[in-house]
Structure 1
Amino acid sequence: METTDTKELSVMIVGAGLAGVLLALLLERQGISYSILERAQMVKPLGSVMSISANIMPVLEQLGLLEEIERISKPCETIGLYDIPMNKIADMGILDYKRMTGYQPLVFSRPQFYELLVSRIPSHKILRGKRVLSIEETEDSIMISCADKSQYQGDIVVGADGAYSGVRQSLYKRMEHEDILPQSDMESMKVGYVCTVGTTKPMDPEKYPFLQNKATTFSQVVGRDLLSVSKVDSKHYSWHIKDGKGEEAASRNSEWAPETVETSLKEFYALPSPLGGVMKDLIQATPRESISKVFLEEKMFETWHHGRVVLIACHKMLPAAGQGAVNAMEDAVILANCLYDMRATRLSDITEAFQDYREQRYPHAKAQFESSRLVAKLTCGQSMMESFIRQVVFKWLPDSFQRQSSLKTASYRPQISFLPLIENRGEGPLLPQKSSRRRQHEEVEH
C-alpha cells in the first residue's frame, strides 16, 4: 500500500467553533500542520446549555476529556413535557440509557465545554481577527486572503464557519458559475423559529431545591410559545423561549437590537415555570450579557466538498433533538479519519478522501436531520394535528417504542480510527465503523 507522511499535509480551518476546534485537536494528535482562521477577535459560543450522549462520548473518552467534562456537568435522567396549566404530557425517562449504551447523557455549560477543547490547542495556532476575503485554488495548493492583507497557503481549506459559512458561499458561487451546483443548494435555509436563551446568575437553593439534586431534568412547556428550562450546574438554570416562527420571525429581525431584547421578553413574564411560579423570576435573574436571541433554522446541503475545499456541518438542524452540535463534531471525527488515510497530498488523493468523508457521514446526518424535524413537530408543534400526534406518541405508544427509537440513534458512535478504540460497554446495538486502511497496514508491518 502506498503511504505518505501526513505531517506534510497542511490544513487551514476557517472558523473556531466547536467543530473547527475539535478538528484542530484531532489534527494535533495526528501531527498534521494546521491553522484556525477565526473572524472574531473573541469567540462567544451561542447558546447557554448543551447536552451530549453516547453518539460522541467515546470520542471524548479517546481524547482523555470525558472525566473532565463529567466534573463540569450534570447527568440527565428525565425529559418532562408539560402543557400550559402544568399538566404533565409525558415523562420520558432515560434511566436505562447507561445500561444500554454504557454512557449517561450529560448537561453542561456550552462555553465551559468550548473552553475545555480550546485549552488543548496551542494558542498560536488560532489566528483571530481573520476575515476571509477570497479563496484561490491551483492544482498544487490553495490560498486564503484576509481583510487585514494577510495570506495563508496550504493543501486543504475546511469551512467550519457556521450556518452562514463564508467558505461555503464562496465555494457555491464558484460551482454555480461552473454550472455544477445542485439547485437545492442555491435555496435559502428554512426558518423554524426564533428563540431567546439565557443562563441565570447563581440561584438560591433554598428557593429552588432542585438545584441540590445531583442530576438534572429538561422540562418543556408546550403552548402558544415553547418554553424549556434545565439546570446547568448546582447554581444556575438555563432557559429557552420560542417567540416567533417562519416568516413572522424573519420579519421581526429589526427588533433584535440588544437594548430591545429585555423589553420583548416582558410578554413572556407570565408564562408558567416548570420550577414553580412564573418565568419573570428566572428572566430577571439572568444577566443581560447572558441573554441572546438566535435563528433556529434547518437545511440539508447536498454539496459537501469540491476541489481542495471541504465543509463541516452541511446540515442545519432544529435543536429539539439536541443533535446539531454533536453531528458537527461527528463530521470533524470522520473527516480527520479520512485525512489520516490519505496516501498523498495530490488533488486526486484529496478528492478521494473528501468523497469518503461524505459517503460515511451523509446517510447518518440525513437520518438525524429528519429525526430532529420529527422531534420538533412532536414537542414544539402548535397545530391541532401536531397536538393530536403528540398525545398519541407520548401517552398511547408504549415506553418500549420510545426506548427503541433512542437506542437506534445511539447505535451510531463513530470513533477516532488512529487512537485506541473504546469497547462497547452497553447492552444495546452498535453500528460497525469503517476501519482505517493506514492503521491496518501499519499493524501488518509490525
Structure 2
Amino acid sequence: MTMKAAVVGGGIGGLVTAVALRQAGVDVRVFEQASAVGTAGAGIQLAPNATRVLDALGLLPAIRRVAVEPTEFDFRRWDDGRVLSTTPLAGAIADTYGAPYLHVHRGDLIAILAEALPVEVGARCVDVVPGDRGAELLLAGGRREQADLVVGADGIHSLVRRSVLGAEDARFTGHVAFRGLIPAERVAGLGLAHTATVRMGPGRHCVHYFVSAGRLLNVVCVIEETSWTRESWTDRGDPAEVRAAFADWDPVVRAIVDALDAPLKWALFDREPIPRWSKGAVTLLGDACHPMLPYGAQGAAQAIEDAAVLAACLRDDADVPAALARYEALRHDRTARVQAISRGNATRFHLPDGPAQQARDAAIAASNGLTPDLDWLYGSDIFTAA
C-alpha cells in the first residue's frame, strides 16, 4: 500500500519535501493556510549544499533560469567600503563542491516548486493528533484528514510543533532587519557587481545581492533593538528610520538605502535546539524545528537538506516512527551546529570598532573570507550522521 503523507506549509521547505517524498514513491498532499501559494518575499542564497539537492530532484535547470550566480562573496567595512576579503564563487565553488552557489528570489523559487505538484491553499491546520498508526490533521472548518505521516513545515511559529511538543515562545534576538527589493536600473549608477556583499559595522550590517536574473537588487539592513512589542513579527518599515540608521555609512550604502522606498521591518527570532522533533508519525522540518538567524545564509538550505534526508529515510524504511528516528539522528547535530554558527555571526558582524573588530578583520583577510566550517557545510554527506 502506498504511504500517504500530509505536509503542513507551502513554503520552500514544505514544497521541496513534497517533491522529494513524491519521488520516493509517497502519495503527498500539501496544505497551505494562505489563499494562494506565496510568490512574495525577498532574496535567498542557495549554497552548494542546497543546490546539490535541488539538482538531484531535477529542479536546478529551471531555477538557474531565474537565478543569479554571483562571482564572489565580499566582506566590506562599513565606513569606507574597503574590501576585507573576497571569496571566489562562480565556477570555483562549483568545481570544488560539485554544485553552484545561486541567488534567487523566494517567489521565483516557490513558483517553480509549486509547478511540480498540487498545493491545497486556504487549508489552515488547527491541530494534529498523532495516533498509534498515522496521524490526524484537523483543518479550520472542522475537516479532518488522515495520513500515515504528517510533516510540519509551517515555520518558526509552527502549529504542528505546538500540537505535538507543546507551546514555547520563540526568542527575540534583539535584531531587526529592513529588507526590500530595488529595480536594478535604479542602482545602475553605483556599479554594483553580481556579488554577495556583507558590509559590517558597529551594531549593524548590510547585505545586498542581485536576484531574478539580475533584474532586482535584494537588500537586507540589520540593526539592534532592545525589544519587539508589536504583535506581528513583520511590519511595514519606515524608510526614514533605516536611512537614519545608516546615515554615516559609506556613500554606496547610503545610496542603496535611499532607494528602499517600502522596506519591510522584520523581527529576527530563533530558538535553542530541541532534543526531539517527532512524535509518532508526526515530524518537523526547517524553521519549525531549527529556526536560525539569516547570518549564515542557511535557513532555506537546511530545510532543503531536511527534505532530502527525510525522503531517503522513508524510502528505506516503511516503519514511519523508525524512519523519523533516523531522520532526527542524521539531522539534529548538523542543524544545531549551523544554528550556532549563524548566532555567532550576529555578534561577529556587529563588533564596535576597536581591538576585537581589528582582530576579526585580520582573520577574515588572512582566510580570504573562508572559514574552517565551509568544507563541512558545503561538502559533507548529509546522509551520514554529522
After TM superposition, is the score higher than 0.5?
yes
Structure 1 equivalent of residue 275 of structure 2? 302
For residue 71 of structure 1, report the CA deviation from its aligned partner.
1.9
Using the alignment, how far apart are the partners of 1:68 and 1:294 within structure 2? 29
Whether 2:83 is the aligned partner of 1:93: answer: no
1:234-273 to structure 2, matched below 5 A, reads: 234-245=214-225, 248-251=226-229, 257-258=235-236, 261-268=238-245, 270=247, 272=249
Structure 1 equivalent of residue 328 of structure 2? 358
* Contact 1:159–1:311 (8 Å) recurs in 2: yes
The residue type paired with residue 358 of structure 1 is: E
SS in 1 for 2:204: coil
Superimposed CA distance per residue, residues 154-213 of structure 1 (whole angstroms, 9 cap, x where no aligned partner): 11211110001001011112xx9xxxxxxxxx5643525111110013425752443xx5
Whether 2:6 is the aligned partner of 1:15: answer: no
Question: Cα RMSD over matched residues?
Answer: 2.8
Structure 1 equivalent of residue 265 of structure 2? 293
For residue 12 of structure 1, report the CA deviation from its aligned partner.
1.0
Using the alignment, how far apart are the partners of 2:311 and 2:141 within structure 1? 29
Structure 2 equivalent of residue 62 of structure 1? 56
SS in 1 for 2:223: strand
SS in 2 for 1:200: strand
Structure 2 equivalent of residue 203 of structure 1? 185
- Judged with a 3 Å threshold, the aligned counterparts in structure 2 of structure 1 residues 253 and 270 are, in CA distance, closer, same or farther, namely farther
For residue 220 of structure 1, report the CA deviation from its aligned partner.
1.8
Whether 2:178 is the aligned partner of 1:164: answer: no
The residue type paired with residue 281 of structure 2 is: R
Whether 2:207 is the aligned partner of 1:228: answer: yes
Using the alignment, how far apart are the partners of 2:251 and 2:73 within structure 1? 12
* Contact 2:235–2:264 (8 Å) recurs in 1: no
* Aligned partner (choices 359, 368, 375) of residue 338 of structure 2: 368
Whether 2:22 is the aligned partner of 1:28: answer: yes
Equivalenced residue count is 379
For residue 99 of structure 1, report the CA deviation from its aligned partner.
2.9
SS in 2 for 1:75: coil
TM-score normalised by L of structure 2: 0.88
SS in 2 for 1:90: strand
The residue type paired with residue 234 of structure 1 is: G
* Contact 1:305–1:354 (8 Å) recurs in 2: yes
For residue 382 of structure 1, report the CA deviation from its aligned partner.
4.2
* Contact 1:272–1:279 (8 Å) recurs in 2: no
Superimposed CA distance per residue, residues 280-328 of structure 1 (whole angstroms, 9 cap, x where no aligned partner): 43213xxx3xx32222222222221011211112111111110111001
The residue type paired with residue 296 of structure 1 is: L
Structure 1 equivalent of residue 309 of structure 2? 334
The residue type paired with residue 250 of structure 1 is: W
* Contact 2:153–2:284 (8 Å) recurs in 1: yes
The residue type paired with residue 207 of structure 2 is: S
* Contact 1:271–1:279 (8 Å) recurs in 2: no
For residue 360 of structure 1, report the CA deviation from its aligned partner.
0.8
* Aligned partner (choices 142, 153, 156) of residue 135 of structure 2: 142
SS in 1 for 2:68: strand
- Judged with a 3 Å threshold, the aligned counterparts in structure 2 of structure 1 residues 411 and 76 are, in CA distance, closer, same or farther, namely same
SS in 2 for 1:241: strand
The residue type paired with residue 244 of structure 2 is: E
For residue 84 of structure 1, report the CA deviation from its aligned partner.
3.1
Larger Cα-atom Rg: 1
Using the alignment, how far apart are the partners of 2:156 and 2:110 within structure 1? 18
Using the alignment, how far apart are the partners of 2:234 and 2:134 within structure 1? 42
Structure 1 equivalent of residue 99 of structure 2? 103
Whether 2:76 is the aligned partner of 1:82: answer: yes
Using the alignment, how far apart are the partners of 1:305 and 1:254 within structure 2? 28
Q: Provide structure 1 residue ranges, at least 5 long, that are not aligned to the other structure.
A: 177-185, 344-348, 416-432, 435-446
The residue type paired with residue 50 of structure 2 is: I
1:123-142 to structure 2, matched below 5 A, reads: 123=118, 126-142=119-135
Percent identity between matched residues is 21
- Judged with a 3 Å threshold, the aligned counterparts in structure 2 of structure 1 residues 87 and 198 are, in CA distance, closer, same or farther, namely closer
For residue 98 of structure 1, report the CA deviation from its aligned partner.
2.8
Superimposed CA distance per residue, residues 324-347 of structure 1 (whole angstroms, 9 cap, x where no aligned partner): 11001111111111111123xxxx
For residue 129 of structure 1, report the CA deviation from its aligned partner.
1.5
The residue type paired with residue 235 of structure 1 is: R
SS in 2 for 1:353: helix
Whether 2:350 is the aligned partner of 1:380: answer: yes
- Judged with a 3 Å threshold, the aligned counterparts in structure 2 of structure 1 residues 263 and 332 are, in CA distance, closer, same or farther, namely same
SS in 2 for 1:226: strand
Using the alignment, how far apart are the partners of 2:6 and 2:195 within structure 1? 39
* Contact 1:10–1:32 (8 Å) recurs in 2: yes
Q: Provide structure 2 residue ranges, at least 5 long, that are not aligned to the other structure.
A: none
